Chains A and B, each alone.
Chain A
Amino acid sequence: MITYRRFPTIAFAILTALSSTVVAQQASQMPGDNAALRYWSAFAQMQDSTVTAEQAKGLQAILDGVAPYSDVNYRELVERNRRAVETLQRGTTLPRCDWGVEYQLGPEAPVDYVRRALALGRLNVLYAYRQLASGNRSGGMRTLAGGIRFSHDVAGGGTLIAGVAAKTLMVAHLRAVDFAARTQALASEEKTLLSAQLDQIGPEGVDWHATMQREFEVLERSGARVPASLVELYGKTVQDAAQLPQLQQAIAGAPQAVASVIPRPQRVLEQKRELNERLREFRAMLR
């Protein structure tokens, strides 16, 4: 009897607890917490410049780590984009990043943010080089640490193109930190700063398995009838390269219409291996 009498009170308490949990979850998903919105603001702030083919090659060489940054040549480009980079940096302090890709549109889903993110991330690297060259080492290291987080965010919720772009950006940032470390050994506070960022991006920096799953979702919506067993095997191969021969055999045996739209798995594994090696070296440097 006592139990029955208390039932409304208990139910009310449960409902109150549930509703407060829902409210708390909604509060934690506020649009203001979404880094992607800040990154879009940064894209809007980007200032284009015309560059010659020679200058473009020079920029690529700097990002590839085979040529030193030249402030004389690129100061104007970097300074024109200072505000965009600063907005990017503020975005990297936010807890989550949701690009809101409309995957229900299938192959027509716009993913142009990837191209813009690639440009913005590269500007961030150049900005860091400029800071380092002008003696602002702490600023340069903060810029690079934020850039690592940004690179990770580029891949989040994206398809394979986002993963490949994120990996490219992350490697460029790690290379720039390596350059700074060779110029002058990393101080303990710099190691702490960079380690904190690494902790946030997970062991591999990019979730290749998730990007491939979304790639297959897009293919599915485009009408490509990829067998579920092949999708599953691809996912296993991304996590365990030993499955590659079996996967290659499965792709070769698939109908031409299917095989011709599946990105080559060995390329995905190459991207993953290269980033993992860079991250391993980087973590060793921070010890």
Chain B
Amino acid sequence: MHDPMDDDHQLELYLKRFRPLPPEPLLLPLPLPQREGPWSVFALRAGAVAWAVATTVLVLLLIPQFRHVPATPVGAEPITAGKANAMLVHAASWKEMIDDAGFAFRPPVKRMEPGRQSALEFLSQEELSK
């Protein structure tokens, strides 16, 4: 089953790796022909720089769209009193344990395998009751 989330992830990774190439030196015979004056060289360079800037801006505009992918609505494993005790006993630092962004803001979620969906999400769908 085709998973659009994977495509998005791949594209995001590709865009993150993308770096505009610096303009290569022009392979023109030296000395320059008389009819191509310094203005035409300047125009080529300016064009290359403009292309690089435009590409960079485009990439920067696209990246946030891929960041706001809806979270997979599968809850993390619930914490029990016993697990909490183990965390407190074994954590190197309580501050780090509590401050861990995953603990507080984004509980670790399980990614769905292609072709599968969250049972809890399915059971919470309104259409089910119709």
Chain A positions near chain B (C-beta within 8 angstroms): 48-53, 56-57, 59-60, 64, 101, 103, 105-112, 114-115, 118-119, 122, 159-161, 164-165, 168, 215, 218-219, 222, 260-264, 267, 271
A165 near B79: Cβ-Cβ < 8 Å = no
Residues on A with C-beta less than 8 A from B107 are 115
B30 within 8 A of A: no
B103 near A106: Cβ-Cβ < 8 Å = no
B104 near A115: Cβ-Cβ < 8 Å = yes
B89 near A164: Cβ-Cβ < 8 Å = no
B87 near A161: Cβ-Cβ < 8 Å = yes
Residues on A with C-beta less than 8 A from B98 are 118, 164-165, 168
B99 within 8 A of A: yes
Residues on B with C-beta less than 8 A from A219 are 85
Chain B positions near chain A (C-beta within 8 angstroms): 67-69, 71, 73, 76, 78-89, 94-95, 98-99, 101, 103-107
Q: Which of B68, B80, B88, B103 contacts A109 (CB 8 A)?
A: B80
Question: Closest Cβ of chain A: how far from B99's Cβ, in Å?
Answer: 6
A101 near B81: Cβ-Cβ < 8 Å = yes
A105 CA / B80 CA spacing, docked (Å): 10
Given that A56-B105, A119-B104 are contacting pairs, would A110 and B85 also be in contact in the complex, using a CB cutoff of 8 Å?
A: no
Q: Which residue of B lies closest to A112 (CB)?
A: B78
A118 near B103: Cβ-Cβ < 8 Å = yes
Residues on A with C-beta less than 8 A from B82 are 106-109, 218, 222
Q: Which residue of B lies closest to A116 (CB)?
A: B107
A103 CA / B105 CA spacing, docked (Å): 26
Given contacts A107-B81, A164-B94, A267-B88, list 20 more A-B pairs with CB under 8 A. Answer: A49-B68, A50-B68, A51-B105, A57-B101, A103-B81, A105-B81, A107-B83, A108-B80, A108-B81, A114-B84, A115-B107, A122-B105, A161-B85, A168-B98, A218-B81, A218-B82, A260-B89, A263-B88, A263-B89, A271-B94
Question: Closest Cβ of chain B: how far from A149's Cβ, in Å?
Answer: 20
B88 near A50: Cβ-Cβ < 8 Å = no
27 contacts between A and B (CB under 8 A): A50-B68, A50-B69, A50-B106, A51-B105, A51-B106, A59-B105, A60-B99, A60-B101, A64-B99, A103-B81, A106-B81, A106-B82, A107-B83, A110-B79, A110-B80, A115-B107, A159-B85, A161-B81, A161-B88, A164-B94, A165-B98, A168-B98, A168-B99, A219-B85, A222-B82, A262-B89, A264-B89
The dominant DSSP class at the B interface is: helix
A48 near B71: Cβ-Cβ < 8 Å = yes
Give the interface centre of A52, A105, A115 by most chain B CB atoms within 10 Å: A115
For the complex of A and B, 8 pairs with smallest distance between CB atoms: A107-B82, A56-B101, A161-B84, A112-B78, A48-B71, A109-B81, A218-B81, A263-B88
Q: Which residue of B lies closest to A219 (CB)?
A: B85
Residues on A with C-beta less than 8 A from B84 are 111, 114, 159-161
Residues on A with C-beta less than 8 A from B106 are 48, 50-51, 56
Q: Which residue of B lies closest to A107 (CB)?
A: B82
Residues on A with C-beta less than 8 A from B101 are 51, 53, 56-57, 59-60
A164 near B79: Cβ-Cβ < 8 Å = no
Residues on A with C-beta less than 8 A from B99 are 60, 64, 168
A263 near B85: Cβ-Cβ < 8 Å = yes
Q: Which residue of A lies closest to B79 (CB)?
A: A112
A56 CA / B67 CA spacing, docked (Å): 13
A56 CA / B106 CA spacing, docked (Å): 9
Question: Closest Cβ of chain A: how far from B113's Cβ, in Å?
Answer: 19
Residues on A with C-beta less than 8 A from B69 are 50
Question: Closest Cβ of chain A: how far from B8's Cβ, in Å?
Answer: 11
